[in-house]
Structure 1
Amino acid sequence: MTLWNPESDAALDFLFEEPSGDPVADLGRGLDLLRQVQRGERPGLLRFYRPDPTLAFGQRDVRMAGYEQAVAASTAHGFAPVVRKAGGRAAAYHRGTLIVDHIEPHSEAILGHQRRFEVFGELYAQALRQLGVQARVGAIPGEYCPGDFSVHGLPTELSRSAVPVKLVGTAQRVIAGAWLFSSVFVIEDSAPIRAVLDAVYQAMDLEMDPSTAGAADDMVPGVNVEDFIDALLSEYRQHTTVNELV
């Protein structure tokens, strides 16, 4: 029995994929894998990728009066606008971030919905702590795409930010027989993300404090995506077997 799936202690396959050049296809790839796991064509898996600059809008954003202006602002900042089926408000990511899709079969996938937010939030915070980030789980005032289980970093004397910043946003997609837990980790180069989010949220007239949009390397200078991948896989391997596919 694993922390996140009480039905199973099965190993996870691990895929590291390069972005395809099509942000819509990269987003849809997670849902394709979810269907494959649901049908029994694949075992549970972890998919990691470092995306091209993308602004992922939530379903509610599409209905906002300023949505078209927000799309234009995203494009002007060099972030491709897409609409995701899971999650809340707009979130931005680029090559300095890591997206993790964790997908597993489960006969009653909806039952563990809330528990997964709690378990993965703490797992992710612990991976960041390995790198010296003072990571905590919980919402911070004014954060973009707010959530009760956001992972944020607290400033220290070494930090470039004087306020807590959001570092990880999470979302779920649950279907009959399987679930997808998708997470965005902001590790490097927060300035473009902060700028595009500020413009997009202003266009939709949504409250957001730009100072909450940061990266792990704002908290601990020198942290990079490669080191974080190693730390996150280390955390996973404390709870299950991870089989890297070649």
Structure 2
Amino acid sequence: MSLWNPNADHPLHVRIEDASGDPEADLGAGIELLGAVRNGEAPATLRIYRPGPTLAFGQRDVRLEGYALAVARSLEHGFAPVVRKAGGRAAAYHRGTVIVDHVEPAAEAMMGHQHRFKALGALYADALRRGGIDARVGEISGEYCAGEFSVHGMPGTAARTRNAVKLVGTAQRVVSGAWLFSSVFVIEDSAPIRALLDDVYRAMGIPMDPATVGAADDLLPGYTTEAFIDDLLAEYALHVELAGA
């Protein structure tokens, strides 16, 4: 029985990967995994990787007048522009971030849609708190790719910022028989992400406060992606049997 799916009794297989060098292929691999789980060709899986520099636009961004300029700005910053199938607005990530694709089979996948946002958002905040970060669930004013169940961090005495900063963005894709819960955790080196998102959101005419763009190590200097992955798996292990971790 898991926090996000009380009816599940299967283990969650952990798969830690290296980025392929092709940001679009890395993004598409999550959708391919969703299909494989739906068809019974793969087990419930927690796929974890650190991506190359990528700017993932949402479907709505593509229709904006400033989209072409935003793509150009992304390339100028050295981030590969891609369009994701899940919802939301543009989000940026690089090797200092961690992507987590949580995929599980479900007979009635849509029924648990809202519950998964709440349960997994809480789990992710707990994982960051395990590492010593004051993480909380909820949107902060002016954040990029705003979401009710995104996770933000509050500054403490050792923080390099005085602002609450967004740390985790989440999105879901649901198909008949399975669901994909995909999350971006910004752990290290927020400066290039902040500069890029400021330019891109200005190009698209979307209000965004760059002060809300941050990383876990802005709040806890020295915190690393490796430490975060350990904390994340430890938190998951409280709620589900992990295989292959």
Both structures adopt the same fold (TM-score exceeding 0.5)? yes
| Corresponding residue for residue 177 of structure 1 | 177
Contact persistence 1:87–1:170 (CA under 8 A)? no
Give 5+ residue unaligned stretches, structure 2.
none
Q: Give the 3-state SS of the residue equivalent to 1:167 in structure 2.
A: strand
Residues paired across the two proteins, number: 245
Which amino acid in 2 is paired with 1:87? G
Report matched runs for 1:201-220 at 5 Å: 201-220=201-220
| Corresponding residue for residue 222 of structure 1 | 222
Tell me, yes or no, if structure 1 residue 17 matches structure 2 residue 14: no
| Corresponding residue for residue 54 of structure 2 | 54
- Shift in Å, 1:9: 2.0
Q: If the length of structure 2 is used for normalisation, what is the TM-score?
A: 0.99
| Corresponding residue for residue 128 of structure 2 | 128
Would you identify which runs of 4 or more consecutive aligned residues in structure 1 move more than 4 Å? none
Report matched runs for 1:15-164 at 5 Å: 15-164=15-164
Aligned CA RMSD, in angstroms, stands at 0.7
Which amino acid in 1 is paired with 2:170? T
Q: Give the 3-state SS of the residue equivalent to 1:189 in structure 2.
A: coil
Contact persistence 1:57–1:91 (CA under 8 A)? yes
- Shift in Å, 1:92: 0.1
Distance 1:7 1:235 in 2: 19
Q: If the length of structure 1 is used for normalisation, what is the TM-score?
A: 0.99
Q: Give the 3-state SS of the residue equivalent to 2:60 in structure 1.
A: helix
- Shift in Å, 1:2: 1.0
- Shift in Å, 1:5: 1.3
Q: How high is the sequence identity, in percent, across the aligned residues? A: 65
| Corresponding residue for residue 197 of structure 1 | 197
Distance 1:90 1:209 in 2: 14
Distance 2:87 2:125 in 1: 19
Distance 2:6 2:131 in 1: 29
Distance 1:120 1:87 in 2: 17
Distance 1:9 1:50 in 2: 29
| Corresponding residue for residue 2 of structure 1 | 2
Q: Give the 3-state SS of the residue equivalent to 1:59 in structure 2.
A: coil
